[in-house]
Structure 1
């Protein structure tokens, strides 16, 4: 298969075979292509659009080697060819006006379609999505391309099976001219669409593309990547104020959104100059994540591919029936901002709670209806990731990622997770219960008056999606202080050194005596300052990770 690329072309004819000689702009190499018969009209010597110098995209190509009857290799015919047009060229502009501007999506008529009428459309590509449908003979891969015409009417254009390679030639923002697309009733498209009709790539369909030319915008930045509390806004470019400033050019889309995926500077991790660029591997952090990792104060409307590192201050489930949306208030040393997390079906990030430190990438800055700046995150979006650092084993296993604190010090360091070496003091205070938690989000479930189990966090009726877990409160101690903390899930099992099911099977007397076996047991723990989800105001510290040490 030949990778799609911009190429020049001219036509030669040998008997009834049409051949294009192709060359690229970055070398003197050329290669011949056997033209597929569906494009013969386009290679007409008098009126055809395929003439010397015309740029095309093509994919789905196979190579016939020189040993198969020819003195040099040639490309075999491909059905997947797209002709590039330039609206600033008179001939191309006239073609678009004459052939593609008379029809619109709203002009499609079922009666006309049934009588064999053909249409030509000119529309902007708004989105490209992968899809899969299950049929009688297995699954079928597809691409759903959302198009918007000049009347702002949206329509779906589908590619199926081998046709999906055509989607590699398209880009969001480009203009697509479809000549004679196959028009199917939406029920025939084998997918749910709101329109009465949908478009498909048929045997007579020909495609033209006016590529989107991506503009760039100059963004002012400081030359010091380790900006901290005194970070200045990106829009502040006054050299008289003492900061060394420079500019970078970042791509801007047709809506004016600036893509920060290639932003060259990153903020620091903890105060110890450890960069926040990470992938979890075997319980340790390795440094590979790109993109802008910004302070809240740096964020501006229409920034994309942004990452944030901060502490969760509040979590709210949005009341919407169309999709699953949660709002998280994220705070760093420069301020706080609300992040809207959009999930395709349900919360899928495991347990996240108030006080946890998180790293979120793939964010887009938007202005809400209340004119408030917020960030948006889509679960399956490009570059989207969500890492709960407070719950990573690497946080306490990797000494380069933390400074060991005493319990007396953590009250002055409440922003991020604190790692301490402690022993358990269950005689001071100790409370343990077994409860059910939701397996998807790790939060406790409540039994409703109707008898159903509902998650206290995502408010989903859980049914079988529950697991027994601990609700453990216990006193931690070191040489400097004692602190009451709580935990649940795997962390509670690591501290308690028994599973909830095994604990429940113990006689009540043994359960009472069990706490004596915990006394003076030493652990390395990660602590976060929490509000315990409003369950118990007297406990303000959560143990997010723990492992036993000598």
Structure 2
């Protein structure tokens, strides 16, 4: 075997050196013809080049490094004992981009955005060099892998005073994988700047480090003048939010991420990541505590940050990051009294009959503020069940009132939602404008992603933010699938309708008494579906959204009043939008272009046409539009929310 091409040995030469290596042109000492000896001489000089004035050979690695590297194993099949000990108290959830060391070996690939949640199994110097290596394992793998430590972390790996030692947990990303070739040797990770050291406040050494180094400075104590005179800071704060990736620059070439931090005094600052640094955000999680030693302090104006804060933080060349990860806590909550034991037992009996009569509590996760996450709560939540510190709640109910927050510059609306147990006001915050389409009184809706909290006035408030994870809003009364999916409804006769009903009724009807039909076309706001009011000049105003509308937002629509009939009764109802178009079987624009005589005669051709329709009571007592909003037809009790032609 030609030792010059042995991949085990070549793998220990930095990649950038391999391209310039030319064995044939190495100087050949006259007394030494052995190519292996020539290779060792080259490797020694590559790992530790001689500096001017230094004693020859004083800093070169010894010969033993060749054989120690030849026999190092990168694929242990038994998980190291130090990881087994840590696993007993390991409770945090995996980060979204985490990969295991086993999977790295299996795929022979590692993405730059992947995260390794690693435990240091060994920290050592390559024999005869000043190159620090970390041998890493994780909780899910039997393999270990070696990492060339980036030099910005060398002082932290000092055997006497360093923190990077056996048993220390770290997160790292932005790693290049140097793979083994031809089935020999082992893979290694090349140096990365994006490494975060984990601390455990329950461990005395870590608690002392946090107390001694990170408790004297706060966000309020930062001074740009002091920074300009060379002062540095060590800060400790909770990660409140992690922004999405932004692209800036003349050619959209500069990436940026904003991480919002809040310290113990409640002061917020932005921590900015630029360019390749954005992968560092993959190591963070909302609720975790971030300790920042010597962050770069920047002027928010210079960082193109639209913020009222004067300063912001950045990841500088001297910055070191420590993380106290957020551990998801759980809390047992009682199954509400409104959840009939029949409902609970029916669900559980399908899984485990022995538990059918025992269900009384459910374990749910909660965040660092004590709010309980109901996104996986197995039963329906009712209005009467709502309490302080509940998040990710879903409600199913009827819209009893709608109001617009006139004094709010943002698009904020309030809805009064009613179910069998009561009513509650929910405040909806939109990113830019109303985006839910047409919503009227009496419509049945499903809302997820609601949050409950107690206001300063000691009142329970329910909030919904359009861009929150898990936030959705579905108007079931206007759902296109409602009429042609038999599993979603039960048919009713018109005689079954009651003035007090709050349900959406599905009826099979025909159009009757066409001579009393009223057809009109009006301008509507395409975003919310409400009719528009003409103002001075060419401007049109939406009283629902409380703003003037652009021409692109204006659409022509029907305002239709018509008699529906079946074998049991007749009902005079109204509708607009797509529902009216379906009933009249003509578009508003086409109808508008017809001569007046034809517009008058047109409805007569529709008499006795049959439809399946969805009807809601929009005039039930207690329903109303607040703050000057007007119902589009406040004389009629029934609105047709969907229609589908039938044979």
Instruction: State the TM-score, normalized to the length of structure 1.
Output: 0.88
What's the counterpart of residue 122 of structure 2? Answer: 10
Q: What residue number does 1:371 align with? A: 458
Q: Residue in 2 aligned with 1:391?
A: 478
Specify the alignment match of 1:57 in structure 2. 171
C-alpha distance in structure 1 between counterparts of 2:212 and 2:385, whole Å: 48
Moved more, 399-408 or 11-20: 11-20
Q: Deviations over 1:70-97 (max 9, x none)?
A: 6011122222111011222222222222
CA contact (8 A) 1:356 1:417 kept: yes
Matching residue within 320, 323, 345 for 1:206: 320
1:494 is the counterpart of 2:591: no
Higher helix share: 2
* C-alpha displacement of 1:150: 2.8
Secondary structure (helix, strand or coil) at the match of 2:445 reads strand
1:153 equivalenced with 2:267 (yes/no): yes
Pick the structure with more strand per residue.
1
Change over 3 Å in CA distance of 1:227–1:136 after alignment to 2: farther
Matched, 1:509 2:509: no
The one of 307, 327, 330 equivalent to 1:216 is 330
Root-mean-square deviation (CA), in Å?
A: 2.5
Stretch deviating more after TM superposition (221-230 or 346-355): 221-230
Q: Given the superposition, is the C-alpha separation of residues 88 and 217 from structure 1 closer, same or farther in structure 2, using an over 3 Å criterion?
A: same
Look up the match of 1:175. 289
Q: 1:250 aligns with which of 339, 344, 364?
A: 364
Q: Unmatched 5+ residue regions in structure 2?
A: 1-110, 346-356, 625-629
In the other structure, the counterpart of 2:233 is: 119
1:421 corresponds to which residue? Answer: 508
Distance in 1 (alpha carbons) for counterparts of 2:565 and 2:344? 36
Q: Alpha-carbon deviation of 1:114?
A: 2.4
- Identify the match of residue 266 of structure 1 among 379, 383, 395: 379
Q: Aligned pair in 2 of structure 1 residues 322, 538: CA closer, same or farther (>3 Å)? A: closer
Contact preservation (8 Å) 2:117, 2:169: no
Q: What pairs up with 1:89-108 in 2 under 5 angstroms? A: 89-108=203-222
Partner residue in 1 for 2:572: 484
* 8 A contact 1:406–1:420 mirrored in 2: yes
Matched, 1:37 2:151: yes
Distance 1:466 1:134, change over 3 A: farther
Report the 3-state secondary structure (helix = DSSP H, G, I; strand = E; otherwise coil) of the residue aligned with 1:204.
Answer: coil
SS in 2 for 1:490: helix
The superposition leaves residues 506-525 of structure 1 with CA deviations (integer Å, 9 ceiling, x where unpaired) of 11111111111111111111
Q: Which residue does the alignment assign to 1:547? A: 644
2:635 to 533, 538, 546: 538
Is 1:78 aligned to 2:178, yes or no?
no
Q: CA deviation at 1:501?
A: 1.3
CA distance in 2, matches of 1:108, 1:58: 28
* Paired residues, number: 513
**Secondary structure of 1:187's match?**
coil
For residues 230 and 175 of structure 1, the distance between their equivalents in structure 2, rounded to whole angstroms, comes to 38
Do the aligned partners of residues 3 and 223 (structure 1) sit closer, same or farther apart at CA in structure 2, a change above 3 Å counting? farther
Which runs of no fewer than 5 residues in structure 1 stay unpaired? Answer: 232-242, 268-293
SS at match of 1:40: helix
CA distance in 1 between counterparts of 2:529 and 2:632 reads 15
Equivalent in 356, 359, 362 of residue 443 of structure 2: 356
Q: Structure 1 residues 426 and 201, CA, compared in 2 at 3 Å: closer, same or farther? A: farther
Give the greater-gyration-radius structure (CA): 2
